[in-house]
Amino acid sequence: MEIKICGIRRDEDVEIVNKYKPDYIGFIFAPTRRYVSPETAKRLSENLNGDTKTVGVFVNEKPETVREIAETVGLDVIQLHGDEDAEYIKKLGTKCEIWKAVRVKDGGEIPDTEGADKILLDKYSAKELGGTGRTFDWSAVGDTKIKKPLILAGGLNKDNVAEGIRIFDPVCVDVSSAVETDGVKDETKIKEFTETVRKLCNEQNRREI
């Protein structure tokens, strides 16, 4: 089970993730309060230790702009969080892994997005494209058959992540607002979340042996 900490913006954030070593960190290149410039993201990524990979989050951005930012920062993954379709993904022409976010409406179906390497499930909001800090109705979509590897996002925290993992069996869990205090990343909350997920993984591995 992999862990992504999204919304990294500050040198202090990198110091924290270097300590707890999530598998991925996310830089948001969309106009939200967690926006980070490509230049800042490049500088922050250069200070990462270990094997933590970088994810760039984009919303309905021009393909050529996405490619340029991915090359500037040295991204490992491109996460598309808008209305991008298979044709858009073809136009990207990048070697980066592609994650396509699906904003789930309660009771709605989950498409198996063509062209993406992995699918990320997040809460639908008419006002926001992500980072709402709220879960969608897990019980309504938990039995949906999704062929691609799944990343679970949307309102995850240390108290509900075990249930989310049990229902969806994702390859990765993605957290942002639940590990913040007053809008900035909180070391204690990141520590608690990462330790909770890793403990769950260790317990699952022992059961499978």
Long-range CB pairs of 45-49 (<8 Å, 24+ gap) are: 45/73, 45/74, 47/11, 47/14, 47/18, 48/14, 48/17, 48/18, 49/18, 49/21
Q: Is 6 a catalytic residue?
A: yes
Q: What is the mean pLDDT of residues 146-157?
A: 90
Q: Which domain holds residue 20?
A: 2-208
Torsion-angle region of residue 193: left (phi > 0), alpha (psi -120 to 50) or beta?
alpha
Q: What is the mean pLDDT of residues 51-71?
A: 97
Domain CATH number, residue 62: 3.20.20.70
Q: What is the mean pLDDT of residues 42-49?
A: 96
Q: What integer best gives the mean pLDDT of the chain?
A: 89
> What is the DSSP secondary structure assignment for residue 35, as one 8-state letter?
B
pLDDT at 127 over 80: no
Looking at per-residue confidence, does 64 or 108 come out higher?
A: 64
> What is the number of domains present in the chain?
1
**Of the listed 6, 96, 172, 174, which one is catalytic?**
6
Q: Which among 85, 42, 43 is positioned nearest to 63, based on CA atoms?
A: 85
pLDDT at 196 over 90: yes
**Of the listed 13, 23, 96, 122, which one is catalytic?**
122
Q: Are 95 and 44 contacting, i.e. CB atoms less than 8 angstroms apart?
A: no
Q: Is 13 a catalytic residue?
A: no
For residue 45, give both structure tokens: 């990524």
pLDDT bin (cut points 50, 70, 90) of residue 99 is: very high
Model pLDDT, residue 50:
82
Q: What is the pTM of this model?
A: 0.92
